[in-house]
Structure 1
């Protein structure tokens, strides 16, 4: 059944163009926005839209999905609820998918496969720090910014985070599975659950496929046979470098606890890609007929399958099409959404198909029941239509007696810090629970952080706040140099690279409605950003939030052979601060707190030769020596999240030339 038609309106600001894809969850269409931008819309199938709890979750997830902003993720622009139609509107990525690449190329060069997969893992690492799991990683959901001619850094865009997260909640409520058999992590089959380690496993399957031209457990049998091999069989060895196979085996470990995190895996793959830059692609191979079984395969979870299906599976492990085992979907590489009734509800004998001359949907008993349910729901809450035109969007509101929640996420700062804020108001307590999530990218971040907790209304006194998770005190302008109203200093925070920490606060404030809570949370975020990015503020306080860049300085002329003095100058919103350098090499004494806060100490800085062998860098990467005479040389540096730094040019002369 087609869910839309070319030229048909979607909400108030979009019009359908062409259908560009279809799957078990919905259809993908191009849509033209009111400003003539071409975007994409994934329209969910009606079976996912006729459940009031799903619609409510869909609306609640909106702010989370809209906040998932990363260069490796397809940006979700809006979400539409229009009658029985639910749609997620996102950027249109025109370069095709990795599925197209695999279909045309067969196998990729190891360096290309590793580079692409590392960017997929970057996207997953970003999402995982924000509590979002994809749950359906496969080549179809990895898009490319431009048509494939070989891997180009920055081209990867992972799509469909929102679909699996929204629909997956409903699947969990009814017991069942969502995913793709050839890419399902074993714990999804054996335990009915999947989290961030499951995403890493599916990415391992994707990497295997890019290298071998097939997934590890593809072969004879049904789609369930393929899925069950993830639990019961070892992945067949392919003829790749031993180091690469070890990494693949780690990604495909049956035990989620033994897999690396997405961030760890991405870093490992990039190191491997450099070593395997000259390796040629493998010849595509056939799937094996038999698989090497593990010693003790996990038991398939009850609840994901019926008792009859489990009995058939236990008596005859899936091997071929003649075995009576469950069927999951159309094919092993197609997403399936399998929902089964709750155990305490009498199962329906079968699905009744409507005859061709059946009554219109709006006159059926099901439609009337749904309409009645909608009326009851509207008594307790206002859901409304989520449309895209600001002029026509109904203001979301709730009475002061109803629980309220709101979320915001700031853009990542140059240091790699991202701050997410969530506010939950419970009328019975008369307080707001504010949760701050601090996430880091490539370098660990630490020290003091500023957070503004404003009054509920403009001009209102600062509210009383009690903090958990970090020592907190009022910001002292005389010490920090930031004169900000309702500012707090959170101390001793340690945010690991690729990870996050949370701090919570109980705030004595009572929003009148949803709009007031949204404005309050947004106001705190904006006030914090304004204070930390004020160019008029001097000093080195709150470096993780205030540092905007790093300059690499050297003398204009160096005598060989001698150590090169390198000074790292912090750059604030007001400009470079030469009086308070971050680091000086060769170093003496203990690194400054500011340097440790933004780079994790000396482990976070590395220098390299920028002039073709004229400089020598010691094994620590911290001391550079001028070796060869050259009129023009530079030194490169990485400092925490600041990469690809380079000094201005300088000359290297001999001691005789210098004396002459």
Structure 2
């Protein structure tokens, strides 16, 4: 896509020079001002300019970004809104990026790495003090005023604050989480939200990469796999000074509250750097094939204690030895826990106890206070408390006043490139909740059937009545789809363009009483949908866009030249590879499978390529591969929608004369 041309005007004050870079958000060009000064212009993709709300946000953020003046930040000079073109004009920094430095020379000397990261933290500290977060810290966005071979302290410039703040909301609503999988903080992946602590985490990843030559969770797998390691895995230890590793470990803490501020991190690195002067850089290491899981906390289950037991516990907290912890089995996934406010537990009157007994437990809000003297945890496995209060006690003021409630949740992007967002809003006047489900695609168009679980307001409730709009909807039939899930709906007829999104709305007969209730309801539906589509016990081809986790490229171990290769694309579900239901077989006959169409848009989203240095020939369609030359070891590569860089196992190419030997 041509964003601009050399010599073309940009607004009334600039003319385009040369294109110097491009990315998912847009292109970077040099521009010359009317007074002859050279700047860089980040020209955003046209789809951003088509969104009136984004243009409004663009203008609203302009004054904040223009005032973000700091020696460690690439200064934003101007913003141009011109028809279908949006551009951020900033200082031109000619020394390249940290990405170039690491690519060219590998790991940096430890003292230099710490000093560079400290300067990044300086930039972040200044921005955070003015309410601006970056959300996409990575080596590409850290520029140098001079090439690395001439680098000196003070040469670091952090760029793209404007992109993160202006475009971030649009990206989250249309194409998934803003950020780069290698550098995403865990809270961004689990909740879709990130603040200053997320910038600190991403800079910790950057520092790790400067020291080791690779990011902590780089390794085999899709972007989805790599991103989720930030939540589920420990960063592999690298051979650095123990004090440096302690700092890295703190910067990469899963809990944002454990991380230092940007200012604190910068000061710590500067104290450590002089001790490392003269230390040689590490050798660039290979990414590990496997990662150690983090310790996964148990979850306090609602209903584990009665109101009377809670009152007794508040008066006489038990010791660790007295506490019998129920065996809950191995945790299925890591749980991010946010601290809950502590509230005093008042003894129930007899009348209150009777009323509470008559009220379903899920509608109460009693505080589970299991300790005294400021002790928030009884045992290490219990990491949070559910705050509950009797129905006749104080309620959320917004709910009591009949105010509208709303909640938003976004799931982690799936391997197929699908991102699901959910918005719920309760209108007291109607007593119903409006649910909006958004489906966004990345590299390939997506279509077919989608599963959505719409649960009752509390565990044990009947499935609510739901009226859908925007899709052909039927109840999920477990006997047909293989997914036996309560309150499941099958949404059909959706077609999501590559890089685009669609929405489906539902009116649901549930009436949450407060913010906590609507948040819990939305989260329960999301978790139930994910659990059903990623159930390792299910052997089915239903809902491929939500269930496909990988694709295997299969060929015979030995092929004969000259002849077309038989290539089979095997879908991989959570239950494993499905040899009986291939996505595609080349050379193909007839129409592509419905699964392939669902995850790639058809054969247009499928391409094979030579992995043998010329021993294979691929026809003009990219769909038929022929063995041309004898080769003892060969592979074929494939791109299947959002699954790129796929590769077959090694195979041999022989001649017909040798085929029988």
In which range does the TM-score fall when normalised by the shorter chain?
0.3 to 0.5
Q: Tell me the TM-score normalised to structure 2 length.
A: 0.47
Q: Tell me the TM-score normalised to structure 1 length.
A: 0.48
Q: Could you say which structure has the greater relative contact order, defined with CA pairs below 8 angstroms and 6 or more residues apart?
A: 1
